[in-house]
Structure 1
Amino acid sequence: MIHVVVAEDMGLLRGALCAALSREEDMEVVADVEGVGELLTVVRRCRPQVVVLALTPESTDPVEVVARISVEVPHAAVLAMSPRWNPALVEAALEAGARGLVGKDSSLVELVRAIRALAAGERAIDVAAAVAVLSPAATPLTPREMDVLRMAAEGLPLKEIASRLFLAHGTVRNHLSVILRKTGARNRLEAVWRARSNGWL
């Protein structure tokens, strides 16, 4: 029996996933969690073979939890799901230790196949993730906005960013406002995550 833990923010999708996987004769969903906050504790307690983990833009660094599971609970293989794969996210997830990558628009058959592959010690990377590496999305940000965002990704304050780029403090603030608008982010951390997830950083 393959023991599975499902981590997904959206309650309806999480419930549907758990119900669908539980109908498989060789699978048992031993726990489901909303997001990643309690995931490591649940994984340690339930000791699943596979963790189905949704990566979301709302997390400042969703791949960090993949790395922690890989290091602290190495017997649990992580199958990462994303609504949209790109080169940076694929690379980050694999480097963090994910053994499988699937798109959220994958079929149930593909998801089940991937879970079985991971439980058998294999890797499973779906076509969407593979194609994303070959066709990255174009950035809407200008080169100067990219410079500002790279500095913001380092956690530098506005004054330091302005000093390093030889810009006025207000100019950096304006660039950040434009970056938030173009990326649809609510704050700098989310803008950095969206840029990385789209392969721009």
Structure 2
Amino acid sequence: MRLLIADDQALVRGALSALLGLEPDIAVVAEVGRGDEVLAAARDARADVALLDIEMPGIDGIQAAAQLRDELPGCRVLIVTTFGRPGYLKRAMQAGASGFVVKDTPAAQLADAVRRVHGGFRVVDPGLAAESLTQGDSPLTERETDVLSVARTGASNAEIARILHLSEGTVRNHLSNAIGKTGGRNRADAARIAEQNGWL
């Protein structure tokens, strides 16, 4: 099967490529370091499976998975990430990923996960699956998520309002709601909590 690997860390990308390239039935046909390079590389290399990290420049792995689902539905997606957060798992599956495992998965299990995803099965880290079921969905609305995402960059209310085309009063309301729903002490704490849960 033809495999694309996308990870912004060259060392990790190279290690994954070397390990999986040893498998007799897996050919690594493309490697990219940015999320916004995934679709074109998968198309050019005719990849069967895309192994995607979540946190990458350009767009993240979840957005890249959605692009592949929409543009190249024959290319299956396996998310392999350091960040085993339940919210990420749910968002990845909603974006069309067939699998979600963490980077400390042993090489033989990772190769097996690639095969299973290629075969049309779902593969999910069992610990994450259990945690995701007990935790439930993000309590944040789409707008609260947007506002908190921009707020975590250190932007002021006026800057957030300008970026998201909202009034400052609306931004204040959304931030207040997000702080209340996450149980954070302030906007930075709310953003940290939301990020840890994979809601951002």
- Contact preservation (8 Å) 2:35, 2:56: no
RMSD: 3.6
User: What is the SS of the residue equivalent to 2:31?
Assistant: strand
Query: Does the C-alpha gap of structure 1 residues 95 and 24 become closer, same or farther in structure 2, counting only changes over 3 Å?
Result: same
User: What is the SS of the residue equivalent to 1:84?
Assistant: coil
Query: Does the C-alpha gap of structure 1 residues 105 and 35 become closer, same or farther in structure 2, counting only changes over 3 Å?
Result: same
Q: Which residue of 2 aligns with 1:12?
A: 11
Q: CA deviation at 1:120?
A: 1.2
Name the amino acid aligned to 1:124: V
- Contact preservation (8 Å) 1:85, 1:132: no
Query: Does the C-alpha gap of structure 1 residues 56 and 128 become closer, same or farther in structure 2, counting only changes over 3 Å?
Result: farther
Query: Does the C-alpha gap of structure 1 residues 161 and 127 become closer, same or farther in structure 2, counting only changes over 3 Å?
Result: farther
RCO greater where, 1 or 2, for CA within 8 Å and sep 6 or more? 1
Q: CA deviation at 1:109?
A: 1.6
- Contact preservation (8 Å) 2:89, 2:128: yes
> 1-side partners of 2:171 and 2:13: how far apart?
44
Structure 2, unmatched stretches of 5+, are 151-159, 180-185
Query: Does the C-alpha gap of structure 1 residues 157 and 41 become closer, same or farther in structure 2, counting only changes over 3 Å?
Result: same
Query: Does the C-alpha gap of structure 1 residues 161 and 105 become closer, same or farther in structure 2, counting only changes over 3 Å?
Result: farther
Q: Which residue of 2 aligns with 1:98?
A: 97
Q: Which residue of 1 aligns with 2:112?
A: 113
User: What is the SS of the residue equivalent to 2:74?
Assistant: coil
- Contact preservation (8 Å) 2:145, 2:199: no
Q: Which residue of 2 aligns with 1:128?
A: 127
- Sequence identity (%): 29
Q: Does 1:179 align with 2:169?
A: no
User: What is the SS of the residue equivalent to 1:38?
Assistant: helix
Q: Which residue of 2 aligns with 1:142?
A: none
Q: Which residue of 1 aligns with 2:69?
A: 70
Query: Does the C-alpha gap of structure 1 residues 132 and 60 become closer, same or farther in structure 2, counting only changes over 3 Å?
Result: farther
Query: Normalization by structure 1: what TM-score?
Result: 0.73
User: What is the SS of the residue equivalent to 2:109?
Assistant: helix
Query: Normalization by structure 2: what TM-score?
Result: 0.73
The aligned length equals 179
> 1-side partners of 2:146 and 2:69: how far apart?
29
- Contact preservation (8 Å) 1:89, 1:197: no
